[in-house]
Amino acid sequence: MNETTRLFESLKLFLSCLMVFFLGSCSSEEQIVSAEEELINNEEQVDDTEEEPENTNYDITSILTMFDNAEAVNYSVSDGIVSISTSNLPNHKSPYYADTDWEDDMQIDYTGTNTKFRLNPNRIGEQNITFSIPLNPEEAVNKEATPMGPMGISRNGVVFFNQYAAGFSALDNEINSFDQYLGHPAGNGAYHYHIEPVYLTEEFGDDALLGLLLDGFPVYGPVEGGTLLSSADLDDYHGHYGATIEFPDGIYHYHVSADAPYINGDGFYGIAGSISR
């Protein structure tokens, strides 16, 4: 090999090494840019999460007219408290209206999809329940557990119960006694919903306002912004802060979900009012 050839081969080798160096550098730079872009995107996603303002001035006056079962519900407002009274008679038919004064008009056989459905021995009975709820709900410093029995009221006057059966046991067996609208009566005749009141979500929509808990914060259906929510999407109290149709400036609110704890989690998010029966 002559001198010219050796020089030419050395130059090719040098250029090849130089190309590998620059290509490697470009690849590394592209990876760095990609990582930086991913970090920025993640930060933007975090920034999109709504957080409840430190200072709030919630007012639930505007939704009170939505409690529209006139035969069962009436309300009045005084000194920052809304008093909602209910006879707790569901305005939909149920197998549990059998053997009652309303049987001829309101009793219907079970038409749901639960093949394990069994009618419990209780029957719907008229109640006299009054909720005294803060008109301007606010977060409680010390969160209070929900009681056994009524913890809130739905738009049709039927009360909400928490996620427990008698003795604070899971609802796994009791669910089999829920009628086609997913409610049933207690031993005193008080009909109630532990889980999604499908009569209301079928009537008003899966994303609709369904009622109030005793602390004054609203309960919504299982869908928000087109997304079906589960308990994993919500906080320990089964709610979160954000805008709704009724509260476009944002409010803390609960959601029902198909999984436990269904309506409420570790207690009332806000300062609870009182119940008289």
Q: Which tops the pLDDT comparison, 54 or 217?
A: 217
* pLDDT in the model for residue 149: 96
Q: Spell out the alpha helix ranges (H) of the chain.
A: 3-48, 103-106, 198-204
* pLDDT in the model for residue 50: 77
Can you tell me the distance from the alpha carbon of 155 to that of 72, in angstroms, rounded to the nearest whole number? 10
Asked whether the predicted pLDDT for residue 48 surpasses 70, the reply is: no
Each residue's pLDDT tens digit, 18-38: 444 444 444 444 444 454 454
**What's the chain's average pLDDT?**
87
* pLDDT in the model for residue 55: 72
* pLDDT in the model for residue 43: 42
What's the DSSP call for residue 189? S
Cut 0.85: pTM above it: no
Percent of the chain with pLDDT over 90: 77
